Amino acid sequence: MIEAPDIDLSTIPVAQRAVVVALMETIAALQEITRRQQHLIAEMNHALHGKRSEKLAEDARQLAFEDLSIALAEVEAEKETHPAKAGEPTNKPARQRTIGNLPAALPRVEEVIEPDSLMCPCGCGIMHKIGEDRTERLDIVPAQLRVIVTVRPKYACRSCTDGVTQAPAPSHLIIGGLPTEATLAHVLVNKYADHLPLYRQSQILARAGLDLHRAVLADWVGKAAFHLKPIVDRLAEHLKRSGKLFMDETTAPVLDPGRGVTKTGYLWALARDDRPWGGEDPPGVVYFYAPGRAGENAETFLTGFDGILQIDGYTGYNRLTKPSRKGGSPILVAHCWAHARRKLKEVFDHDGSEIAAEGLRRIAAFYAVEADIRGISARQRLSARQARTAPLVAAFGDWLQAQRRKISAKSRLGEKLTYIHNHWDGLQTFLHDGRVEIDNNRVENLIRPIALNRKNTLFAGHDEGAAAWGRIASLIETCKINGVEPFAYLKATLTAIANGHPQSRLDDLLPWNFAMSS
């Protein structure tokens, strides 16, 4: 940091003292700005790399980054004003711009700014255009509300009474209702993709002069959810025909009207994502709602699936591996090394255990191999794992048993080592099938939007409301992981349903097929 010089103003000529004082004030202000910048950058690094960052939820971490970035931008803006105040030249290095980065598909509105006069100052006449400067800025127009007025003229024959004709009324999803299918899609995306509860949407519409109570919006959402159910059911059928799926569950607080309080329901995510090894099946996810976390719910949702299931260590899934499993043959499970690592990380963060640190180093070696083989075929992944990872996992198993013999099973570290021991078979599944991932992170990422919506809406109003939540979220999240814009998909799909799309062609309405046809 530049230190402000200690100057005796009495030695400065009177005519120059004002300039020197201004420069000293600028230096002092810039030093304070630099100090603030350094503090904010240190805070950002701490949020990202500090020990406590492991304990921050992803949403909380993102919020911290947003606020720190806002503060840094404010400091930068303040810093930019000082040279001009000090009487210094104002020509600054060009700031980073987004020219060329704005999508070509966005409509352009050109504003041509002509000089006040085109007459040459020398009196030669009118000047000729020799070029132009073009700049682009992103402009946003708030959502425009409009009324679609459908007019169906009637025509009659003047010569007889039987010649009246009129075009048939267009089909609508909600017959006699106010919303177009685009309006329904807008409300759904706001609620389930952007996590904007209906009462807030009602407030936003009210500012535009439209009085729509949230009960009206809820009625729209419910009707849309009903019509979309067959598509979600078809999506689930497609996923359960796969050879490998992920599954995870998260809480979904639901109002219990009989007691006036909330109860804990669960949304179970069943997902397919074969992109890491180049699988041909498109990714997808379905969220099933159940009022509890009992393993029998997973058993019900997985009826008809007989492949490999990648899961965490929740014991409720154990019933799926038994001969008595209902709905199919016993399932082969693949457990998650990220959960095993997390157990050891908790101990290391708590007391700095060297044994936990050694376990973390060994697991890191597995992940180093995974980083090298990411994106290659399942067959190549299997070959690399057998050659490079299998010996490391075998050595980890020997190390694990040696540590368990030395450490009390009732200790904090002993409990974590026992967890890994109890899931040892499932932790080795990825060594025998190149389609299997080393962890369950892909489905955990798909659970995150549910958690965001949960925080914003507090709870679902009823079990049926939670089921609709899962249903619409299934389509929105499947759109997102297939690169499909959810609003465009829902608008087109609701319109197709309103126009009588046949049940025999439901596959046409699945998000990945919309991606291929659009």
d(CA 227, CA 243): 29
* pLDDT score of 301: 92
Instruction: Determine the Cα–Cα distance for residues 245 and 279; give it in Å rounded to an integer.
Output: 12
Q: In the predicted model, is pLDDT for residue 153 greater than 60?
A: yes
* Residues 307-338: tens digit of each pLDDT: 999 998 888 888 999 999 988 899 999 999 99
Whether pLDDT at 139 is above 90? no
Provide the 3-class DSSP secondary structure of residue 408: coil
pTM above 0.85, yes or no: no
Which residues, 6+ apart, have CB-to-CB distance to 478 below 8 Å? Answer: 235, 283, 284, 285, 286, 510, 511, 512
Residue 510: CB atoms within 10 A of its CB come to: 22
Q: Tell me which residue of 42, 52, 99 sits closest to 72, measured CA to CA.
A: 42
Average model confidence (pLDDT) across the chain: 82
- Per residue in 186-215, pLDDT (tens digit) is 999 998 888 888 888 999 988 888 888 888
| Lookup: tokens for 365 | 């070696």
Name 7's Cβ contacts closer than 8 Å, sequence gap at least 6.
20, 24
d(CA 364, CA 227): 47
Is the pLDDT at 361 greater than 80? The verdict is yes
38-86 confidence digits (pLDDT tens): 776 776 666 666 655 444 555 555 555 555 565 556 666 666 666 554 4
Split at pLDDT 50, 70, 90, the class of 99 is very low
Query: Strand 261-272's sheet: what is its strand order?
Result: 284-290, 261-272, 244-256, 308-310, 332-334
pLDDT (mean) for 8-33: 74
Query: Residue 381 pLDDT more than 60?
Result: yes
Quick one: what percent of the chain has pLDDT higher than 70? 80
In the prediction, which pLDDT does 30 show? 76
For residues 21-38, give the mean pLDDT: 76
